[in-house]
Amino acid sequence: MGRPILDWADPIGQGRQPCPPLLLRHPSPTGRRLSPATMVRIHATLRTALNAAVRARLIPINPAHGADLPRPRRPHSVIWTAGRTARWQQAGERPAVAVWTEQQLAAFLAGVAQDRLYAAWWLAALRGLRRGELMGCAGRTTTWTPRS
């Protein structure tokens, strides 16, 4: 914890403070500005560390308490239309969250029907399992091929 990070903190704990200027001014290592969601995660990490310092009586109060952070916007899902598919194929541009139509999903499942991971594809598509949850299913006890 360096001095520049704590300069923004309200030492007496009066009222909400704006987001630390350090987070707003400096871009990420890739050169892009930090997104509001990233700032919220950084703040949560700092707040947790500073809470531990308060409990250990290293500092009297948590200066991260009550910081006024920008609100992250949740991306809205859109359907893969022919136009969006064309833009993705031509320029690589894709929406943050896109979903398939029933026909697209049926075509995908028909295309992977002979794949050894068909059961995993089916679970992900029809039961909403995420990638990490599917990987948890991929242990030695899981058989993805149908039994006769």
Q: Quick one: pLDDT at residue 138? A: 62
Q: Can you say whether residue 119 is alpha, beta or left, with left for phi > 0 and alpha for psi between -120 and 50 degrees?
A: alpha
Map out the domains of the chain as residue ranges: 3-68, 78-137
d(CA 119, CA 144): 6
pLDDT, average across residues 56-65 = 91
pLDDT, tens only, 65-77 = 888 888 888 888 8
Q: Which residues pair with 17 in a beta bridge?
A: 67
Q: Can you say whether residue 92 is alpha, beta or left, with left for phi > 0 and alpha for psi between -120 and 50 degrees?
A: left
Q: Is 78 helix (H, G, I), strand (E, B) or coil?
A: strand
d(CA 81, CA 104): 10
